[in-house]
Structure formats: structure tokens, C-alpha cells
Structure 1
């Protein structure tokens, strides 16, 4: 069931419940008012007949004639008068005698002064009447035909109005809910047109502050992120294909030349060496891509533990020098560093942090004329400060805005081999550890990468 139908039904049920409660209250109040008013009428009729009988001295036959004449026109009240010994003194219609008075009823009236009760649908009142210091019992009964008819009319009219109102409210609810959900329907129709090839489409927002507009804006923001992600993915795949194609083409070419033409041992060694070099490039690219994928995980999925930064830097420098014996790494500690304290400890992933430090050290050595990278460690109240400095060629200012873009290689791409993944991977790893990385450089004066990582 659609939400608008549910809302219409729920709104109708709620309104019906409220209206039904009003009908019940009005009917119950009217019924109580009718009952009270008729009891008062019986009391007045009983007093009037008693006064006529005792004080005015009208004889019994005249009073009975008045009763019988009135009974043909209206529902006349039937009155009876007893003394305290249960002796009948007067009765409007003893032959009818709708209320069969008993000694128990007389005693109740004497005890309470007045009693009221129903005899079937007839109302009865019994009351004590004092005349010349003597107590008498007067009973009066009648059927309130007019009052009951008014109640029935009220009930029927109320039910008719109730049913008509419910029907009107349901139709109005359907109409209003449809109008209210029209923007949602338009959004649904527009969203159905959005696909991977049409991520440029956006939902229409009326720029108001209602929930529908907020939903449209939130959905559009999500589409912006998805579009950006799709574009980044397309570029990523395209760059991977380009990076893989070059060394693979070189390997295939070398192997085809070796197969198609006989060569001596020395020439075969050269061809094998070139193929091996290109294969190593592929292996490094594959490892970098795997590391980049790991660095793109949800932070909650990355295993972390307490690590000492100095130990990680020493391990990273060993890995770099093992791959490139000619590289030199100089690690220095600031004077305010206590090597045994938590100032140089972080909560992080050992493998990923080593990858980041290896990339920064390798970059510093690779683009420096003396193949050396200097690493300094200091700290403040919240962060460990790492600076990776070299005295190399520097980075042109025009390249700085793209320096952390995957597969981007600047003007220095002809100086050293690389695939453009290292720095973007390093930035992701540092961000994954709630840190930041910045760069300061000048052409032919060197480059310094500054990393801030929160310590324990």
C-alpha cells in the first residue's frame, strides 16, 4: 500500500474516532439531560396533584377526569397518593395502575425523602409530601415519548452526519495526500531516469525548507558524490590500462624479437634483462594498486595497534636501502623527544604506515642529486611532526595542485621511473590515520613533506 493511501486511511480513522467520541458525548449528555428534566417534570406534576387534592380540596372524580381527558392528547402523568400506613388515598387510574406500589417503596420514600427509578421505559418518582404536619407518599410515573423521539432523531441525524463527514474527510484526505506527494512522485519519475550513463541528472528542488526539499537536496548531493566517484573510477581504470599497457607492450616486443631472430647469449641476456625490468615495473605497479585499495577501506575495517614512529621509520629506511643500496637516509630526533614516552607512539596500521614512509623516503632520495633524504621527528601537545626533506630538483608550482592525484606525473617524470601512485597513496594512508600531509618546495632547492599524526 502506498504511503499516501495509508495516510488517508489513518487520517480518516483518527478523525472518525474523534467524531465518534463527540457523537457519544453529545448523545450521552442529551440522554442525561432528558432523564433529569423528565424527573423534574414528574416531581412538579406530583406536587401539583397533591396540592390540588389536599389544599384545593378538588374531589377525586374531577382529578381523574382531568387525567383521562389529558391522556387522550398528551402522555399524562399518573399520580397516586398514600399515607404512611400504605393506605391509598387517591389514584389517577387505579384500573391501570402502571406502578405497583409496595410497602418497601413507601418505606424507601419515607427514609430518603425522594426516590427515582425506571419501570421498563417508564420513569417513576416517589416523594414525601407534608400536609398539616402529616406525612404522605406521592408517586408519579409517565412515558417520555417526546423525549425518546428527540433522542432517536438526534442519534439518527448524528450517525448520518458522521457517515457523510467520514466520506468527505476520506476524499479530502486522498486529494490532499495526492497533492502533498506530487513532488515525491515527480522525484520518483526523475530518479527512474538516472542511470550510470546519466548521472548528470538531478532532482528538482523548490529551495524551501520542507522535508521534500531536504530530501531532494540530499539526493542531489549523493548524486554529485556518485558522479565524482564514477568519473574517478573511469579515470582510474583508464590510467591503470595505460600504465599496464606500456610495460606489457615492451615485454611482448622484446620476447617477439628474441623469438623471431637468432641472437647470441649476450643479446639474449639484454632482452631478458629488459623484460625482467618491465616485469618488475608491473609488479611494483600491482603492489601499489593493492596498497591503494587497502588505503581506500573504511577506517573501521583497518586493524590498528599502538606503534612507535621511530621504529617504523627505521624499518622503512631499511626497506628502501635494501632495494636501492645507493640511497642514504638520515633520521634525526628533536631535543624535546623522549624516546620512551607515548609522544612518538600512534594508533595505526603497521603495514600501511610503512608503505607511506617508504614512498616519502624513496621520493626524497630518487629526486635528490646526492640520493639522500633527511627525516626529522618532533612533536607538540597533540601531534607527532615528521619532515621528509631532500636537496633535489624541487617541484614546479604548476604541478603542486595535482601532486596527490593518482597516476599524475609532473615535469620530473623523465628524471626517474614511477607510476604516479606513491604520493596519492601516502595521502590516503595519512588521512586514514587522522593525520595531514603538506608540501613545501622550491625549484632546484629541494622539497619538504610535513606529516602530522596524532600521538597517544
Structure 2
């Protein structure tokens, strides 16, 4: 069932219920008013007949005859007059006697002065009436046919109005819901036209402040992220293909040349060494691509735990020195601390260690002494790591592309690489909600400053 239909049904049902309740209140109040007015009329009629009888203006026989004749055409009031000791003085029609007075009833009327109650469909009043210094008890009963007829007419009118109103409400509710949800239909039609080939399309936003506007804005933001992801993926695949082609072509070409003719053992040894070098490039490139893919995960997809920066730096230093015998890494702790929280962050040990290894290798790779100096310090709630060298530095024109994947600057001839390391470092740092800054001067060296919030 569509939302438009659901809204129409709910709107109609709620409004119809409210209307029904209000009409019920109207009927209930009308019935209460009818009952009060009829009780008042009964008292007046009872007192009038009692006065006529007690003043001897009309004899009992005449009054009874009038009552018997009238009751065939109208809802005549039946009146009885008693003395307080239950002595009947007058009754319009004792053989009919709708009220069925009893000594207990007369005693209750004397005590309360006035009572009102129903006897079947008949309304009855009983009251103590003083006349010429003596008390009399009067009962009057009648059926309010006129009042009930008006109530029935009112009920029928209300039910007809409720039925007609229900139909009108259903139609109005349908058009209101259709009008209210028309922006949703527009969004759906627009979204259906968006595919991988036109991710630059966006959903129109009529009003950013209403709920549908917020939905459209949120969806557009999602499209922005998807478009960026698709573009990054296409660029990534293109760069991967380009980067892998060169070492693989060199590897295959070298092996093919070696197989063209018989060679000496030394020549074969040299060919194998060159092939191993090219294969090592492919392995390093593959590892870099894998780590870059891992660093591109969402934070909630990566296992985070409390890790110590000093231990990670020591492990990273060991990995760098083991892989490159000529490299040197100096660790310097600027200030001692007994608080482990100062050097503890929430992060993924593997990724952080990978970032530190890349920074250390970058220092060593682009400096003549093949040395990286790593300092760790603290400032307020931050742990600060500095990776510095005294190497060739980074030209100003290359600084803006430093963290772009697969970009190689003007220093690419100084040392081999694949342009992944710095992009990977930045992704890992940002993934851990940290910051990275670079200070570099050509011919003087480079300093990478990494900041993390400690526990």
C-alpha cells in the first residue's frame, strides 16, 4: 500500500472519529437538555392540575375525562395528588397508574422535597407542594414523544452529515496527501534516471528546511560521495594498470630476451637478479595497493583498540632496518611521562605501523645519510610525532600533489617509488582522526608532523 493511500485512510479515519465523537457529544447534550426541560414541564403541569383540583375550580371527574380523551391524541401528563400519609386525593387514571406510587416513594418525596426518575420510557417527577398551609405530594409522569422525535431527527441528520462528511474527507484527504507527497514522486522519478553513467545528476531541492528538502539534500550528499568513490575507483584502476604494466613488462621482456639464445651462467645469474628486482617492485606495489585499499575503509569497518605509539614506533623502526640495511632511524622522546595515556591512542596497530614505516622510509630514501629522526612529544590532549630528515627537500610545486596517489614529483629520479606511500599515510592519519603537516625546504630537508588525540 502506498504512503498516499495510507495517509488518506489514516486522515479520514482520525477525522471521522473526531467528528463522530463531536456528534455524539451534540446528541448527548441535546438528550440531557431535553430531559431537563421535560422534567421542568412535568413540574409545571403537575402543579397546574393540583391547583385546579385543590381550588375546586374543576371537579375530579371532569379532569379525569379530559385526561382520558387527550391521551388518545397527545402524550398527556398523568398527575396524582397525595397527602403525606399516602392518602390519595386525586389521580388522572388510577386504573392505568404509570407511576405505581408506594408509601416508601411518598416518604422519600417528603424528605427530599423533589425527586426525578424514569419509569420505563416515562419520565416521572415527585414534589412536595404546600397549599393554604398544608403540604401535598404531587407526582407527574409522561412520555416525551415530541422531544424524542426531535432527538431522532437530530440523530438522523447527524448520521447523514457524518456519512457525507466522511466521503468528502476521503476525497479531500486523497488530494491533500497527493499534493503533499508530489515532491516525493518527483524525487523518485529523478532518482530512477540516475545511473552509474550520470552520477553528476542531482535531485532538485525545493525547500531545504522541510523534511522532504532534508531528504533530497541527504540523497544529494550520498550521490556526491558515490560520485567521488566512482571517480576515485576509476582513477585507481587506471593508475594501477599503468603502474603494474611497467614492472611486469620489464620482467617479461627481460626473461624473453634471456631465452632468445644460450648464455653463460653469469649472464643467467644477472638476468635472474634483474627479474627478481622487477618482481620485488611488483610485490611492493601490490602491498602498497592493498594497504591503500584497507585505509579507504570506513572507520566502523576497522578494528580499533588502545595502542601505544612508542611501541608502534619501535616495531616500525625494526621493520625499516630489517628491510634496508643502509637505513638509520633515530627515536627521540623529548619528555618522560609516567602516564601511559599520554602515548596511547585508539587505533589500528597494523595501519598505524604501516604509516610510520612509510614516513621513516621516505626520510631515509631522500637524504644522503639515509637517516630518519623521529621525535615524540605531547601538548595538552595531543600526541605529536615528528619525522625529519636533512635530505633534498620537496619543491614548492610538488607540495600540493604530495598526498595524491601515484603522483611522482620532480625528485622521482632520486629514489625509486610508486607514488602510493604519502597518499597511504594521509588516509591512515585521517582515518584515526589525526592531522598531518609538512614543512620542507629544498636542500635543507623535510619534516612530517603527525598529531593524534591521546586517550
Fold-level similarity (TM above 0.5): yes
> 2:442 maps to which residue?
443
Q: Which residue matches 2:404? A: 405
Distance 1:323 1:87, change over 3 A: closer
Partner SS, residue 200 of structure 1: coil
- Tell me, which stretches of 5 or more residues in structure 1 are unaligned? none
Shift of 1:216: 0.5
**Change beyond 3 A, Cα 1:325–1:103:** closer
Aligned to 1:302: 303
**Mapped partners of 2:67, 2:305: distance in 1:** 104
Match of 2:64 in 1: 64
Aligned to 1:212: 212
Report the Cα distance in structure 1 between the residues aligned to 2:122 and 2:36, rounded to whole angstroms: 13
DSSP-derived class of the 1:409 partner: coil
**Where in structure 2 are the equivalents of 1:161-172 lying within 5 Å?**
161-172=161-172
Whole-angstrom distance in 1 between the partners of 2:21 and 2:194: 49
Say if 2:266 is the partner of 1:259. no
Q: Bigger shift: 65-74 or 350-359?
A: 65-74
Q: Count residues with an aligned counterpart.
A: 453
Conserved 8 A contact 2:42-2:77: yes
Deviation at 1:299, TM superposition (A): 3.4
| Cα offset, 1:176, TM superposition | 0.2
Residue 48 (structure 1) shift: 0.7
**Deviations, residues 36-87 of structure 1 (Å, cap 9, x unaligned):** 1111111111111111111254322333344355446532212222334444
CA distance 1:384–1:208, change in 2 (3 Å): closer
Distance 1:82 1:389 in 2: 120
Within 5 A, what are the aligned runs for 1:249-398?
Answer: 249-300=249-300, 301-309=302-310, 311-334=311-334, 337-338=335-336, 341-342=339-340, 345-347=343-345, 348-398=347-397
Deviation at 1:341, TM superposition (A): 4.7
Question: For each residue in 1:6-42, what CA deviation from the matched residue of structure 2 results, as whole angstroms up to 9, or x when unmatched?
Answer: 1211111211121111111111111111111111111
**1:199-221 deviations in Å (ceiling 9; x for gaps):** 11110111441111111111101
The answer on whether the counterparts of 1:345 and 1:455 sit within 8 Å (CA) in structure 2 is yes
Q: Using the alignment, how far apart are the partners of 1:92 and 1:322 within structure 2?
A: 126
Shift in CA distance, 208/316, structure 1 to aligned 2, threshold 3 Å:
closer
Match of 2:427 in 1: 428
Task: Within 5 Å, give how 1:124-273 maps onto structure 2.
Answer: 124-273=124-273
Contact 1:86–1:106 (CA<8 Å) still a contact in 2?
Answer: yes
Query: Are residues 91 and 324 of structure 1, via their aligned partners in 2, closer, same or farther at CA, if it must alter by over 3 Å?
Result: closer
Question: What's the secondary structure of 2:411's corresponding residue?
Answer: helix
Say which SS state the counterpart of residue 235 (structure 1) adopts. Answer: helix
Q: TM-score, normalised by structure 1?
A: 0.92
Q: Deviations over 1:294-329 (max 9, x none)?
A: 3233434324333242x4334333332332222233
CA 1:14–1:287 in 2, change beyond 3 Å: closer, same or farther? same
- 1:343–1:384 contact (8 Å) kept in structure 2: no
Give the alignment's TM-score, normalised by structure 2: 0.93
Distance in 1 (alpha carbons) for counterparts of 2:98 and 2:389: 121
Q: Distance in 1 between matches of 2:78 and 2:180?
A: 64
RMSD of the alignment, in Å?
A: 2.2
| Counterpart Cα distance in 1 of 2:171 and 2:281 | 72
Instruction: Provide the residue aligned with 1:108 in structure 2.
Output: 108
Distance 1:312 1:107 in 2: 103
Change in Cα spacing, 1:384 to 1:84, as seen in structure 2 (3 Å) is: closer
Q: Distance in 2 between matches of 1:145 and 1:344?
A: 93
SS of match in other structure, 1:30: helix
Post-superposition Cα deviations, 1:95-154, rounded to whole Å, max 9, x if no partner, equal: 544443333433333333333222321222222233343333222222211101001001
Rounded Cα–Cα distance in structure 1 between residues aligned with 2:332 and 2:84: 122
**Unaligned ranges ≥5, structure 2:** none
**Contact 1:343 1:379 (C-alpha < 8 Å) held by counterparts:** no
